[in-house]
C-alpha cells in the first residue's frame, strides 16, 4: 500500500547530535505513521501505549496506519487521566511491553496526551535499559510541549514528575486532525503553553496570537491553517531551547514560565479536574507577569496586556477564577518551596522584563512572594 503524504507538513528538527529527531506537524499525518516508522526502523515492531479515551477515538486508525506500513503492533491501554502516571501505571505498562515481546530494536509508540507521553516515554527509557519510542501527541498541550524535549516522568507521593528520565523520542508526529475530538476545555488549557512561548521569548508571535487566536481555536481543513502555524512556531521554540540546554542546566528553565505558581495551584487543587495543568499555567503566567510588574521589572500596562490575552481566550488569570477553596498564602508558599526550582532556600522564579523577555530570577525574596499572594488571595 502506498501512503500519500500531505503536500506540506511542517518539519521541525531537534538538533541533538546522535539523539536528533524530527517533529512533523500537519493535518492527516497519522495515516503516514507506518511508512515513516518503517523508513526509520525497518523491521521493527511496535507497542502502542494509549489511554481508554484516545483508544476509542484514534487507536484503530493508528493500528491501520502501522499495518499499512508493514509494522506489526500490539496495544497497551491504561485508564485516562493523571492517575496513570503512577508507580502502578508504570509497572503495568512495562510488564505489558515486555509481554508483547518488544525488544531492543523495536519501538514504543506513545499515542495520547502528556500523561501517555510521560508514562510511555519513561517505560521506554527503562524496559530493557532503553527502547526507542515515537511520540504521537493527541492533545494541544502534548503537540506543543510534552512530546518534545525528552522529559519523561511519573508522579511520587511527594509530588508531580519526581521520578523519571531524560529520554528523547526518535520521531514526533503531530497530526492536528487528532485535535478535532479534543474537548474545548482541554484545547484551551493547551493553548496556555502556546501563549507561553510568545510571552517568554517571542513578542512578534504573541502579537500574532492576539490577532489570530480565534483561527487557532477554530482549526481548519487546510494543512497550513493558523493552528498548524501556532503549533509549528511553538515546537520550533521548544526545540531550539532543548537543543541548547537538553538537561535544564540553564536556559531550558525559561520553559517553566508560570509553572512555579502554577504547580502550587495545581497541588492546592489536588491535581484534579478543578484546575487542568494548562489552566494552572495560565494563572501562573498571569501571577508571574503581575509579580514582575510589582517588582518594577515592567510597566503595569505590559503585564496587563499579557494577562488580558489569556483572559480573552477564556483561561483563568485570577485566583478568583479558580473554583472552590484555596489554602492560605503560607500553605501556597510551602507548595512553592516543594517545587523543584528551589535551591538553598532562595526561590527561583521565571520573571519577565516584558512580553517576550523572560529571564531566570535566582534569588526572589520569599517574603515578597508571600505578600503578593496574600494580596491576590484577598481579591477572591
Ligand atoms: N514531559 C514534559 O515535558 C511535559 C510538559 C508538560 C506537561 N507534561 C505532563 O503532561 C500531562 C498533561 O498532559 P495533557 O494535558 O495532554 O493531559 P492528558 O494526557 O491527561 O489528556 C487530557 C485528556 O484528554 C483526553 N484526550 C487526549 N487526546 C484526546 C483526543 N485527541 N480526543 C479526545 N480526548 C483526548 C485524555 O484521555 C485525557 O482525558 C501532565 O501529566 C504533565 O505533567 C509533561
Ligand atoms: Zn506545562
pLDDT digits (tens, 9 = 90+) for 259-274: 999 999 999 999 889 9
Quick one: which ligand is closest to 148's CA?
1
Cα 146 to Cα 149: distance, rounded to the nearest angstrom: 7
Of 210, 250, 216, 254, nearest to 232 by C-alpha is: 216
Catalytic-labelled residue, pool 248, 266, 279, 302: 248
Above pLDDT 90, what percent of the chain? 88
pLDDT band of residue 337 (cuts 50, 70, 90) is confident
Atom 42, ligand 1: which residue's CA is nearest? 114
Mutational pocket test of ligand 1: of 59, 78, 146, the residue with most ligand atoms within 8 Å of the beta carbon: 146
| 74-115 pLDDT tens trace | 999 999 999 999 999 999 999 999 999 999 999 999 999 999
Quick one: pLDDT at residue 125? 98
Question: Residue 224: pLDDT band by 50, 70, 90 thresholds?
Answer: low
pLDDT of residue 346: 75
- Does 58 participate in catalysis according to the annotation? no
- Is 289:303 a contact under the CB 8 Å cutoff? yes
pLDDT, residue 339, reads 62
Q: What is the mean pLDDT of residues 242-267?
A: 94
Give me the DSSP letters along 145-189: IITSS-EEEEEETTEEEEEEEE---SEEEEEGGGGGGS-HHHHHH
Catalytic option among 252, 305, 309, 376 = 252
**355 Cα to the center of ligand 1, angstroms:** 27
Q: Are 226 and 220 in contact (CB under 8 A)?
A: yes
Residue 309 annotated to the active site: no
Distance 193 CA to ligand 2 centre (A): 6
Task: Match 498548524 to its residue by C-alpha cell.
Answer: 228
Answer whether 167's CB lies under 8 Å from 121's CB.
yes
Give the model's pLDDT for residue 221: 65
Query: Is any ligand 1 atom within 6 A of the Cβ of residue 100?
Result: no
Alpha-carbon gap, residue 226 to 191, rounded angstroms: 13
Distances (CA, A) of 107 to 47, 77, 121, 145, 146: 6, 16, 11, 21, 19
* DSSP strand pairing (10-14 vs 21-26): antiparallel
Instruction: Report pTM.
Output: 0.95
Residue 220 reports pLDDT greater than 80:
no
pLDDT of the residue at 5: 44
Q: Is the pLDDT of residue 18 over 70?
A: yes
> Which H/E stretch holds residue 11?
strand 10-14
Ligand 1, atom nearest to 149 Cα: 3
Average pLDDT over residues 334-338: 86
> pLDDT digit string (tens) for 295-327?
999 999 999 999 999 999 999 999 999 999 999
Q: Across all residues in the chain, what is the average pLDDT?
A: 94
pLDDT digit string, tens, across residues 138-196 = 999 999 999 999 999 999 988 889 999 999 999 999 999 999 999 999 999 999 999 99
Higher-confidence residue of 84 and 224: namely 84
Ligand 1 geometric centre to CA of 141 (Å): 7
pLDDT bracket for residue 345 (50, 70, 90): low
pLDDT of residue 341: 54
Amino acid at each position: 500500500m502506498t501512503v500519500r503524504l500531505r503536500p506540506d507538513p511542517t518539519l521541525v528538527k531537534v538538533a541533538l547530535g546522535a539523539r536528533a529527531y524530527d517533529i512533523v506537524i500537519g493535518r492527516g499525518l497519522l495515516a503516514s505513521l507506518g511508512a515513516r516508522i518503517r523508513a526509520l526502523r525497518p523491521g521493527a515492531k511496535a507497542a502502542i501505549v494509549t489511554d481508554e479515551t484516545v483508544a476509542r477515538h484514534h487507536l484503530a486508525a493508528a493500528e491501520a496506519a502501522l499495518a499499512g506500513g508493514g509494522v506489526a503492533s500490539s496495544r497497551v491501554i491504561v485508564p485516562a487521566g493523571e492517575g496513570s502516571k503512577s508507580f502502578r501505571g508504570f509497572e503495568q505498562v512495562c510488564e505489558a511491553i515486555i509481554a508483547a515481546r518488544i525488544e531492543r530494536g523495536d519501538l514504543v509508540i506513545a499515542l495520547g496526551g502528556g500523561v501517555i507521553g510521560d508514562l510511555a516515554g519513561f517505560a521506554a527509557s527503562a524496559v530493557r535499559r532503553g527502547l526507542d519510542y515515537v511520540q504521537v501527541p493527541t492533545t494541544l498541550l502534548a503537540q506543543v510541549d510534552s512530546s518534545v524535549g525528552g522529559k519523561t516522568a511519573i508522579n511520587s507521593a511527594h509530588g508531580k514528575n519526581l521520578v523519571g528520565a531524560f529520554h528523547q523520542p526518535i520521531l514526533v508526529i503531530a497530526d492536528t486532525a487528532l485535535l478535532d475530538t479534543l474537548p474545548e476545555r482541554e484545547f484551551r488549557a493547551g493553548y496556555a503553553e502556546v501563549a507561553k512561548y510568545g510571552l517568554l521569548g517571542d513578542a512578534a508571535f504573541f502579537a500574532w496570537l492576539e490577532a489570530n487566536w480565534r483561527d487557532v481555536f477554530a482549526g481548519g481543513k487546510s494543512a497550513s491553517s493558523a493552528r498548524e502555524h501556532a503549533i509549528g512556531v511553538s515546537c520550533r521554540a521548544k526545540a531550539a531551547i532543548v537543543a541548547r540546554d537538553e538537561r535544564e542546566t540553564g536556559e531550558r528553565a525559561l520553559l517553566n514560565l508560570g509553572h512555579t505558581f502554577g504547580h502550587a495551584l495545581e497541588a492546592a487543587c489536588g491535581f484534579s479536574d478543578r484546575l487542568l495543568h494548562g489552566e494552572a499555567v495560565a494563572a501562573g503566567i498571569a501571577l508571574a507577569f503581575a509579580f514582575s510588574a510589582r517588582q518594577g521589572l515592567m510597566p503595569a500596562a505590559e503585564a496587563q496586556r499579557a494577562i488580558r490575552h489569556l483572559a480573552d481566550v477564556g483561561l483563568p488569570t485570577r485566583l478568583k477564577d479558580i473554583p472552590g477553596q484555596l489554602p492560605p498564602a503560607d500553605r501556597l508558599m510551602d507548595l512553592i518551596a516543594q517545587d523543584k526550582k528551589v535551591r538553598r532556600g532562595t526561590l527561583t522564579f521565571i520573571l519577565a522584563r516584558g512580553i517576550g523577555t523572560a529571564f531566570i530570577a535566582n534569588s526572589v525574596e520569599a517574603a515578597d512572594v508571600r505578600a503578593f499572594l496574600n494580596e491576590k488571595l484577598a481579591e477572591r
